[in-house]
Structure 1
C-alpha cells in the first residue's frame, strides 16, 4: 500500500534544502523548513519568491498555485516545532559527518518510530549516519540535484541497513513530489549520476591542464557533439568549484588514492576564492 506523505520536515535552508521544501509544497505537502539561522531562512524565502515570480511570468505556474504553496511552507528555527507530527524528514545541512550524526541523533529522539530520516548528501552514505539513531532501517540517502526546482532526477540509495519498506516509501515520495526516482540497491561513493559526471569532469580537466583545448572549446564540444545542455566547466561554476574541491578531498581521505585529490587547476581556483557564479569568477567571469 502506497504511503502518502502529508507533513514533511526539511532541515537546512540553503539552495538545496529550500528548493526541496518548495517542490514539496507545490506538490500539496505541508512543509516545515528548519534552519538554526533566521537570516538564512529570510534569504531562502526571498530566493524562493524570486524563483516563483519568474515561473508565474513564464506561465509555468499560476499566482494562486504559488500562493497556496507558500501557505503550506513554514520557515522555523525550532527543531521541535519543525518535527512535531512530521511523517518524513530530509536533512540538507553542511557536508560534515559529525554535524550530520549529531543532528540525526537529535531528530531520532523527537520523531515517532515510523518516520524515515533521509540525507540529501551525495558524498556521505547513510550507513555512516544510521547508527546515530535507533532506527537504522528507516535511514537512507535521498539525493536531489541542483537546482532542485529544475532537475527531475532523485537518487534513492538503499544501504544494507535500509529496509525494503523504507526504500519503497522513499521512491513513492519522490513520485509524489513529481520527480523521477532511481533506486540504487547498494551504497557506492558518488552514486550513479555523479560517478558518470565525475569521470567527464576529470577528463575535461585533464584536457585543459595538458593544453589540449581551452575551457570554452571543451564546453563547446560537450554541448555540440554530446548534446549536453551545459559544458563541464560552466557546470563547475554553477555548482561551485569549492564543492568539487571538498568532494575530492573527502574521496581522497576515504580511499588514500592520490588520483582522487583535487586537481591543480581546482586547487588554484579554490585557494584564490574563485568558486564560480557565487563569487563572480571561476572558469568564466560573471557580472
Structure 2
C-alpha cells in the first residue's frame, strides 16, 4: 500500500474519550477535514467534550492560529455522542480514555464487537500500557496499534507509533500515512515496551524531580527554575508534571515499574498522596504549583 492510498482511505475517524487528549485528537482530525465522531460515557460527558473542543478552537482563532471559517468548518465535522455504537462505521478508532489497563481493555473488547469493518484500525493513545494487552482483548490484534499523541495535541507535532508482536505491517503503514499526510504530524516508531520512547526517558526524570522536592532538597519553584534557567528547558519538570496530570504521571510510572522492576521507576509516596488528594496539576487547579481552576 502506498502512503497516499493509506491516507485517502481514512475518511471516518472515531475517538473514544473526550477529555484533554481525546478532545485534542478530535480537534486535529476535524481541522484536517475528517469526519470525526467522539464517543463519551454518557450524554453529559459528550456535551462537555464538545465544549472543550469549541473552547480550544476559539482560543486558536483569538491567537491568530486559525481563521474563523476554518474553526466553524472543523466544528461542523464533529459529532459528540454518549453511545459507543455510533462508531460502528468508523475506519479508524482512537481510544483516549483514562490511563488504566482494565478500562482500556474493556473499550477494545467493545469496539471489536461494534466496529463493522474488520479492516478498520483500532488505535490507542496510551502513554505506557503494552499494546499487546489491548490487542489481545480483541479478535483482531493485527489491526491494533499504538498511536500516542502529545499534549497539547493541536500544537505538538509528534506521534509515537507502537506495534505489538501481532500488529500487521499494513496497519502500521495505514496509521503512519494518516498521521503524516492527513494530520501533518511527525512520527517516531517504538517497540512495544512500557513508556515507549518519550515517556521511558521523560518520566524517570520527572520522578527524580518529585523526589527532590519530597525530600526537601529543593523547593518545587527552585527545581523548576534550575532546569529552566540552568538547562534552557522551556518548562521545569514539576510544571511539566502538572501539565501532563499527576494521575497520568503516576500511571505511567506504575507501568514502567511493573515492566522493568526498576525501583527508581516506582511512583514516589508524595506523588501517590497528591493523586489520592485530587491534586492533579493544572486540570484540578493545584499540583506542585497553583493554577486557575480548569
Structure 1, 126-135 or 92-101: larger mean CA deviation: 92-101
Q: 1:76 aligns with which of 64, 69, 81?
A: 81
The residue aligned with 1:272 is 277
Q: 1:178 aligns with which of 180, 184, 190?
A: 184
The residue aligned with 1:151 is 156
Deviation of 1:130 (Å): 1.2
Answer yes or no: is the 8 Å Cα contact 2:127–2:195 preserved in 1.
yes
2:90 matches 1:90: no
Structure 1, 144-153 or 101-110: larger mean CA deviation: 101-110
SS at match of 2:187: strand
Rounded Cα–Cα distance in structure 2 between residues aligned with 1:274 and 1:207 = 18
SS at match of 2:148: strand
Deviation of 1:239 (Å): 1.7
Rounded Cα–Cα distance in structure 2 between residues aligned with 1:229 and 1:277 = 17
Change (3 A) 1:105 1:270: closer
Answer yes or no: is the 8 Å Cα contact 2:99–2:127 preserved in 1.
no
Rounded Cα–Cα distance in structure 2 between residues aligned with 1:268 and 1:224 = 29
The residue aligned with 1:169 is 174
Rounded Cα–Cα distance in structure 2 between residues aligned with 1:264 and 1:56 = 42
Deviation of 1:159 (Å): 1.4
The residue aligned with 2:66 is 61
The residue aligned with 1:118 is 123
The residue aligned with 1:224 is 229
Deviation of 1:244 (Å): 2.0
Structure 1, 149-158 or 206-215: larger mean CA deviation: 206-215
Rounded Cα–Cα distance in structure 2 between residues aligned with 1:92 and 1:203 = 27
The residue aligned with 1:247 is 252
- Tell me, which stretches of 5 or more residues in structure 1 are unaligned? none
Rounded Cα–Cα distance in structure 2 between residues aligned with 1:285 and 1:89 = 35
SS at match of 1:41: helix
Deviation of 1:29 (Å): 0.6
Change (3 A) 1:40 1:131: same
Answer yes or no: is the 8 Å Cα contact 1:142–1:157 preserved in 2.
yes
Rounded Cα–Cα distance in structure 2 between residues aligned with 1:179 and 1:245 = 27
**CA RMSD of superposed structures (Å):** 1.8
Q: 2:48 aligns with which of 43, 48, 70?
A: 43
The residue aligned with 2:243 is 238
Deviation of 1:22 (Å): 0.8
Answer yes or no: is the 8 Å Cα contact 1:171–1:183 preserved in 2.
no
2:207 matches 1:207: no
Deviation of 1:40 (Å): 1.2
- Tell me, which stretches of 5 or more residues in structure 2 are unaligned? none
Change (3 A) 1:210 1:165: same
Rounded Cα–Cα distance in structure 2 between residues aligned with 1:39 and 1:83 = 21
Rounded Cα–Cα distance in structure 2 between residues aligned with 1:111 and 1:214 = 53
